[in-house]
Amino acid sequence: MNQGVGTEMNANQVVEAASNLLRGMEGHRFEQLTIHKPDSMFEAINMVKITSKVSSLVGNLFEIDAAEMLAAHPVLGKLGPWIRQDPDFPDVLLNWSQAQ
């Protein structure tokens, strides 16, 4: 983290620091889900039919892991609790009471 990162951060700095941390999740592996090459044409056709359901599952898994990663960060985690909201927006929220 850059100097000046801590409890004295303003909202823009928190968003920038959290965004940088989450960019590091590229290539993140979800242990709850394994996708493999279909064994048959029948399986492939049926997998195509459920693709939209898989994308929702992956999105939810990402939101859970993102909230946990932000909460565990040595600086960002001390700013307040990181909450996953579903179905509300934003998906991950810092419950931050610091006056701006």
| Domain ranges, ordered by start, for the chain | 11-94
| pLDDT confidence of residue 3 | 39
Which residue matches tokens 């928190």? 14
Residue 4 pLDDT > 60: no
Reported as a single tens digit per residue, the pLDDT across 31-83 is 766 778 899 999 999 888 887 777 888 888 889 999 999 999 999 999 999 99
Can you tell me the distance from the alpha carbon of 58 to that of 52, in angstroms, rounded to the nearest whole number? 10
| pLDDT confidence of residue 56 | 84
To the question of pTM greater than 0.75 for the whole model, the response is: no
| pLDDT confidence of residue 31 | 73
Angle at the Cα of 62 from the Cα atoms of 59 and 85, rounded to 5 degrees? 80
CB-based contact 74:93 (threshold 8 Å):
no
Length of the chain: 100
Residue 23 pLDDT > 60: yes
Quick one: pLDDT band at residue 84, thresholds 50, 70, 90? Answer: very high
